[in-house]
Amino acid sequence: MEYQNTKTGFILMTDCKISGTNWVRIDKAERVGQAPAPAPEVEVVEQPAETPAPAVEHQQEPKVPEVSEDMAGFDGVTRNQIMQELDAQGIKYDPKAKKQVLYDLMMSQGE
């Protein structure tokens, strides 16, 4: 069986029965003698032209100061983690102390 889509003019050959508002069954005799299906009317919608994106200047990444091994560990740990470690080791400390002071205390006790 052959079916033609009334919107697109597409012809489909299948053994299955097709149903739908845009499909009609056609015979081979109708298809051979008939002129090509008229092109469907297409509504043209103009889109506003895209404005090109402004050029992005490549900026140099800010230089990161070199960090000693002690400071590298300092940045990777939070103040609360340092205090937990000091508590676990039984080391007395001032809870109001800054992170650097707590970190130095923790590192000095490990030596």
pTM, to two decimals: 0.35
Who contacts 11 (Cβ-Cβ below 8 Å, separation ≥6)?
Answer: 2, 3, 4, 5, 26, 31
Instruction: Kindly report the average pLDDT of the chain as a whole number.
Output: 75
Confidence check: pLDDT of 100 > 60? yes
* pLDDT tens digits along 30-64: 554 455 566 667 777 777 777 766 666 666 666 65
Q: How confident is the model at residue 65 (pLDDT cuts 50, 70, 90)?
A: low
- Would you say 35 and 20 are in contact if contact means Cβ atoms under 8 Å apart? no
Who contacts 85 (Cβ-Cβ below 8 Å, separation ≥6)?
Answer: 106
Q: In percent, how much of the chain has pLDDT > 70?
A: 64
Q: What is the domain partition of the chain in residue ranges? A: 2-33, 69-109
